[in-house]
Amino acid sequence: MPVWHEITRPWVEQEKLVVLGITQEQHPERCRLFAQWKKFDWPILHDPINVLQPLAVPILVAIDEHGVVRSTRPEAETFEAEFLDRTFSPPAGVAEKPAEARLPDLQSLRREALQSRSAVAWRRLGDATVLWAPTEKINDAIDAYMRAVRLAPDDGDAHFRLGVCYRMRYESSQRVATDFQSAVDQWTRAREIEPNQYIWRRRIEQYGPRLIKPYPFYDWVSEATDQIAARGEKPVALRVELSGAEIAHPSRTFVAEGGSVKSPDPTGRILRDTGRLIVAEVAVVPPRIKPGESARVHVTMRPSDAETAHWNNEAEPLRLWIDTPDGWQLQQQLLTAPQGNKPETAEPRHFEFEVRAAANARGPTQLGAYALYYICEEVGGMCLFRRQDIPITVTVDE
């Protein structure tokens, strides 16, 4: 695609051509950073819910001055002669100046959905809501898609878009602890319905284990940021931090780190925090695997807002211990999170690890995981050492 950017630049400058990009990613600022890095100066539209329904990218479509498709596989060598320099005849009955585009009326779409009770109408309301009011009406979009999938359980588009909304809410201040797993579950259902939809598949792979990744996804970000800064520009800031899965390189073998480590609380005597001070969120990607396959587990530990809890950074760091049944493999059994940069901080902390199911594993399998942490009930308040048992279930299908 950068090739097309270079080729088309003079034609755009001569006003012989409009280049219009459409990106299929969830996070707009990541796309903006990419465009800044590559110096794309043409308008780019954002389609996070795959509303245009391409099955994969990239796709190039040459459209003539009357809005008619002339090529879906344009060749750089012949593009000017066969497309740009030709004058095409208008098709019959097509208005040369269509009505100006207007934003959808959400109230009207809602009335239509309520009256028709049709899955398509609810999906359409969800589409309009998430595209044009993603921040303030994300719960309305989720509600609309949930109604759509209740009416049409095999509507893959609605499942995928519902997953996008769950992930959007997970990254917002309206987060519900289960949102990430719900997103992955919906994307998985969508992929089951339409296995040839690679845009949907990529959302799962983006957060999934290295064994199923086709490429790292966002390993370009650090290089882009450095190069943009070296040009004297300010790189677009990413609102959502990259997860480990999004920059990890694919692997064709499961790598378990060697060496023996011991459980830091083998007798289980450390007093428990049952989620009052730290709230644990778990997402398993993909949610179901086959025997011998691997999953990536995301664990996020958030100090409770209600309790004004803070990490105590002057003591030992947060640790996560994972036990698996016989025959299972773990990438790492003991993980440690980085400390904050002040004595007491309240940021969420993330762990990611990969696990491979035993060849004879079947059904839901519980991993024995727990976290150990030093936590203060409030800034300057009582500091405690606590353990939290974290239920992690990996489901193995036949």
Report the site for another protein in 205-234 (rule: CB under 8 A): 206, 215-218, 220
Q: Is 152 in the site for another protein (CB under 8 A)?
A: no
Residue type, 103: L
CB of 94 to another protein, least distance (A): 6
Q: Which is nearer to another protein, 194 or 347 (CB)?
A: 194
Please report how close the Cβ of residue 345 comes to another protein at its closest, in angstroms.
29
Q: Do 31 and 43 form a contact (C-beta atoms < 8 A)?
A: no
Q: Report d(CA 9, CA 22) in Å as an integer.
A: 17
> At 269, phi and psi to the nearest 5?
-95, -10
Rounded distance, CA 292 to CA 222, Å?
34
Q: What is the smallest separation between the CB atom of 32 and another protein, expressed in angstroms?
A: 6
Tokens of 347: 């940021």
Considering only residues 97 through 116, tell me which ones interact with another protein, judged by CB under 8 A.
97-98, 100-109
Instruction: Rule CB under 8 A: say whether 243 interacts with another protein.
Output: no
Name the segment binding another protein (CB under 8 A); options: 126-134, 270-278, 304-312, 313-321.
126-134
> Between residues 146 and 242, which has the closer beta carbon with respect to another protein?
242
Residues between 22 and 51 that touch another protein (CB under 8 A): 22-25, 28, 30-35, 43-47, 51
CB of 90 to another protein, least distance (A): 10
274 touches another protein (CB under 8 A): no
Nearer to another protein, 62 or 346 (CB): 62
In the three-class reduction of DSSP (H, G, I as helix; E, B as strand; rest coil), residue 304 is classed as coil
- According to CB under 8 A, which one of 6, 10, 16, 154 is a site residue for another protein? 16
Nearest to 240 by CA among 328, 172, 288: 172
CB atoms within 10 A of CB 363: 10
User: Rounded CA gap, 60 and 167, in Å?
Assistant: 28
- Based on the shown chain and the rule CB under 8 A, indicate whether residue 244 belongs to the binding site for another protein: no
Report the largest interatomic distance among the alpha carbons of the chain, rounded to a whole angstrom.
81
Q: Looking only at residues 47 through 66 of this chain, which bind another protein when binding is defined by CB under 8 A?
A: 47, 51-55, 57-66
Within 130-149, which residues bind another protein (CB under 8 A)?
A: 131-137
Report the C-alpha dihedral over residues 146, 152, 156, 158, rounded to 10 degrees. -30
350 vs 353: CA distance, rounded Å: 10
Per DSSP, the three-state class of 365 is strand
Give the residue, chosen from 9, 19, 82, 304, that forms a contact with another protein under the rule CB under 8 A.
19
Least distance between another protein and beta carbon 153 (Å): 16
Count, residues near another protein per rule CB under 8 A: 84
Least distance from another protein to the Cβ atom of residue 57, Å? 5
Q: Between helices 179-193 and 198-207, what is the axis angle to 10°?
A: 140
CB of 230 to another protein, least distance (A): 19
Query: Taking CB under 8 A as the criterion, which residues in 176-205 touch another protein?
Result: 197, 199, 202
Scan for tokens 């059904």, then name that residue.
363
Q: How far is 32 from 28, CA to CA, in rounded Å? A: 6
Q: Enter the tokens of residue 160.
A: 């995928």
- Residues paired with residue 391 on neighbouring β-strands, in sequence order: 368
